Amino acid sequence: MIVLGIETSCDETAAAVVSDDRGIHANLVLSQIEEHRPYLGVVPEIAARAHIAHLDGLIKDAMAAAAIGFDALDGIAVTSGPGLVGGLIVGLTTAKAIAAVAAKPLIAINHLEGHALSVRLSREIAFPYLLLLVSGGHCQLLAVEGVGRYRLYGTTIDDAVGEAFDKVAKLLDIGYPGGPAVERAARAGDAARFALPRPMLGRPGADFSFSGLKTAVRHAYLNALPDAAEEDDRAALQDDLAASFQAAVVDALADRTQHAIRRFRDQHPAARHLVIAGGVAANQAIRTRLAALAETAGLELAAPPPAFCTDNGAMIAWAGIERLRNGLTDTLEIKPRPRWPLDPALAPGGKARLARARAR
């Protein structure tokens, strides 16, 4: 089985060709970092126009690299949500056209499911496993019980952790994209210099909050800035605040994950893995802390290779393979879904369904 995967949910245009023996025959990602760098964040209109300009050529190059034609494909997998609607429309329209002309099945992929299953692209990880999904737009703890079967334990009540990294990097003026910039600065910083809050620490449940932490970083920075007149002093201030912020994030993630582990082990005592996925999963400080937490709980930490943590077409193609194996395909009438929760109990219904999901 071999599938073409297309990803255009945010600011990476990606196409990949993957087979069910975990063979990655092509995996091309065109970053838009330079286009968005002047704004220190993703501009939806710029992202959509870049997808329009480059997606067709990227798919052509991916198929050439795989040395196959569309007739050799078993399906076309495409991110259909959640994400920026302009980008989703570009990818989904292109995938529909290929599926229609080549007479191949269309598989509409939830971007979060792409991340959730990406660890299985690089190695055999059995269901169920506990997933910490951390990215620029999402921060969730879920039980992954099978393809299309997800049980939410906790989510952010305000900002995603990746967004917090981006906003802190922008505040400190240390570079873009924010996650890698903060991690680099933190290596040279003193994490003990600033006593930042650990949001939700010790509270019941597994929800997250990062809005207050961002505000605390801002206050600490503005208060310390007048005494950092020299360039070296300001650089030290930036490094120390980055380190203090990252340490607070690590503590918060570990605490919330520990709560989720207890609940997960009660429901799935034979499960063996804690998985971390999403763009923020590339952060080594977070991985190190979660590895120790998993070991204490009798679990093994598993994570996709760094190249599969950020958005890519290979994870979408793999999710397509997983769904095809289960006979799950979609019609050409499928529409983009800018909001698309993984846990079926959350779509639709808002807070009432969320409360019932957490109580399961």
Q: What is the pTM of this model?
A: 0.91
Nearest to 96 by CA among 115, 110, 75, 82: 75
Q: Are strands 129-134 and 139-146 parallel, antiparallel or unpaired?
A: antiparallel
HSE-up of 183 (CA within 13 Å, CB side)?
Answer: 15
Cα 255 off chain centre by: 20
Q: Interhelix angle for 231-267 vs 211-224, to 10°?
A: 160
Please count the residues of the chain: 360
Above 90 in pLDDT, residue 58? yes
User: May I ask the CATH architecture of the domain 2-118+307-343?
Assistant: 2-Layer Sandwich (3.30)
Q: What is the mean pLDDT of residues 272-276?
A: 98
Q: Reduce the DSSP state of residue 76 to 3 states and report it.
A: strand
Q: What percent of the chain has pLDDT over 70?
A: 96
Same fold, 2-118+307-343 and 125-303: yes
Instruction: Fill in the amino acid letter for 266.
Output: D
Q: How far is CA 212 from CA 116, 219, 245, in A?
A: 28, 11, 12
Q: What is the pLDDT of residues 69-80, one digit of tens each?
A: 999 999 999 999
H/E stretch holding 315: helix 313-325
Nearest to 221 by CA among 239, 236, 232, 237: 237
Above 70 in pLDDT, residue 221? yes
Q: What is the pLDDT of residues 141-197, one digit of tens each?
A: 999 999 999 999 999 999 999 999 999 999 999 998 899 999 999 999 999 999 999
Report the first-to-last Cα separation within the chain, whole angstroms: 36
Domain boundaries, the chain: 2-118+307-343, 125-303
User: May I ask the CATH architecture of the domain 125-303?
Assistant: 2-Layer Sandwich (3.30)
DSSP 208: B
